[in-house]
Amino acid sequence: MSTPPKPLAETSVRRSLAIFLALVAYLILVKTIMNLASVKGIAATQDEAFGWPVIGVVALAGGISVWLGPRVGLPGLWDSDIPTRKRLLLPAVAGLGMGVVTLTLQAFTDFAQIVAAAANVSSINVPFPGSLLFYSGGAIILESVHRLILITLPLWLTANVVLRKRRQIQVFWVLAVLTSAIEPAEQVTFLAGHPGLMLLSGVSTFGINLFEAYVLRRYGFLAPLAFRLAHYAVWHIIGGLIGY
């Protein structure tokens, strides 16, 4: 007798876990090469984010979050019902566009120099070619923590366990708003004394993160990751090459 096909939901979760495992493997490779090549972040907090304990948390908690994703209404990492154009291409194009917007604002405001001066560093960007590893790995860490883990785990605990599978959408958007505020709250302190730039940076970064939460819910985890990678490619890698 032939073996019956696996349920589609089970197959999708297995595929999602395999893709996430590949991202973690790439992250481990990046960390190993960065150690060998002595690639460092601009701030101590960035180096801490690349520490083995953080990578371990990303692997374990991120894997659990991927497994729980379908249970809280999130698409799989490679859901067959979602076109690749929506999952990867459109978020990447949006990320490239946001990177161009960021570079344009920098040309008029010099906020990168202001942040660098506040942090007492010569540049806010890791030098090329180390930037290729640093920002690709950093995107995986940031999106895994801020989007995948900090939304999925509390969403499952609150909506599925406490509320017994009710109000998933409402809880998701509360968590989306709260997690979207983490990154701007960490960054705006470097613009103290520049209220206009502080407001612009805080609002724009919050909006970017909220958009990433939206595409996470619509298209799965790879969508916000594609956006972040494209944005970093323009702002941090190309921006670093041209002197920002």
pTM over 0.85: yes
Which residue matches tokens 């493997």?
Answer: 25
User: Tens digit of pLDDT for each residue in 36-53?
Assistant: 999 988 888 888 899 999
For the residues of 25-94, what is the DSSP string, one character each? HHHHHHHHHHHHHT---SSHHHHHHTSHHHHHHHHHHHHHHHHHGGGGTPPPTT-TTS-HIIIIIHHHHH
* Residue type (1 letter), 15: R
User: Tens digit of pLDDT for each residue in 45-91?
Assistant: 888 899 999 999 999 999 999 999 999 999 999 998 999 999 999 99
* Apex 181 CA angle, 25 and 230, nearest 5: 45
**CA–CA gap between residue 150 and residue 224 (Å, rounded):** 14
